[in-house]
Amino acid sequence: MKVANYPAWSEAAPLPTLRGGCAGAVIDGRLYVLGGGLSAKRPVDTVESYDPVTNQWKPHRPMPLPRNNVVAAVLDGKIYVVAGLVAPAGSTDEQPLENEPSDRVDVYDPQTDTWTTCAPLPEARVKPGLSVVNGRLYALGGRHGDVNTTSIVSYDPAVDAWNKVADLPLGVRHAPAAQAGGLIYLTGGWSPNGDKGDIHAKVWRFDPASNEVEEVASMPEPRVAHSLIEVDGQLLALGGVTADKSFLESVCLYDPTIDSWTALDFEMDPRGIFAAGLIDRHIHVAGGWTKLYKEPHTTVQTHSL
């Protein structure tokens, strides 16, 4: 894939329901934006999808339970929405309470516009990395309670069960994952350390065949709350938040054949915890925050590769 002379991003039809903390998934040529929040304490159940051919959004059946900071992946033609934050009993729009980590896993079938619920995660999590390899779903890290978990768990849809398969060297949250060549890469993220914690440039590679984890080349700069997309066997890291807590415009490319990252020459509108997907060699980004949990992003952007 070429890494220079990219055209600029273009603006698409705006997301009907502005929200951050949402998940994104691509299926049947549409980008689905699922869940998220109107603020840190106000999760939503909204599901909308974007058709790049018509430049229009379509509403779908809401999630069974409003959830913020969710992650999603496509497995066997369905969208699995995993983990996140839920409002506790007694929380209202007028007096919202601190949200709690969830172990919930809901499955959306776009053919029937229906939801089902499958086996929950072994432990509640917020923003684990999520990816699919060989018909199984893998959740890596994330926040469990007040700490980050190192656990990597695998879901087998044939038996509707999760099993722990490995541990990360470091527990991180808001570190997105993606597969390339049958291997899962977990990038960046945040871990507690002192008052503000650490935002990482570190990248870990997980091999589902051997359940081994190893550290590979770091990203050009630390980032958290970004998106990670596989393109032609390589990985694009987009946006997010950097070590000084500013929002990133930058995009970088990882080539696993040479274990190297390259900073690219096209920049997106800065945003964090947003939906992203690749459709017919066009990157689409939607939702997210421009100020964490306070200002949802108003634009949807498209970039042609």
Structural domain that includes position 262:
10-304
Alpha helices by DSSP H, the chain: none
Task: Indicate the number of domains in the chain.
Answer: 1
Contacts of 60 (CB under 8 A, 6+ apart): 32, 47, 48, 49, 108, 110, 113
Q: Is residue 2 part of a domain?
A: no
Q: How far apart are CA 50 and CA 57, in angstroms?
A: 4
CB 217 within 8 A of CB 226: no
pLDDT at 256 over 60: yes
Residue 30 belongs to a domain with what CATH number?
A: 2.120.10.80
For 155-194, what is each residue's pLDDT tens digit?
999 999 999 999 999 999 999 999 999 999 999 999 988 7
Confidence of residue 196 (pLDDT cuts 50, 70, 90): confident
pLDDT tier at 3, thresholds 50, 70, 90 = very low
| Structure tokens, 10 | 């273009």
Q: Does residue 5 form part of some domain?
A: no
Comparing 284 with 196, the larger pLDDT belongs to 284
Within-domain flag for 292: yes
Which amino acid, 109?
D
Strand partners, 289: 272, 296
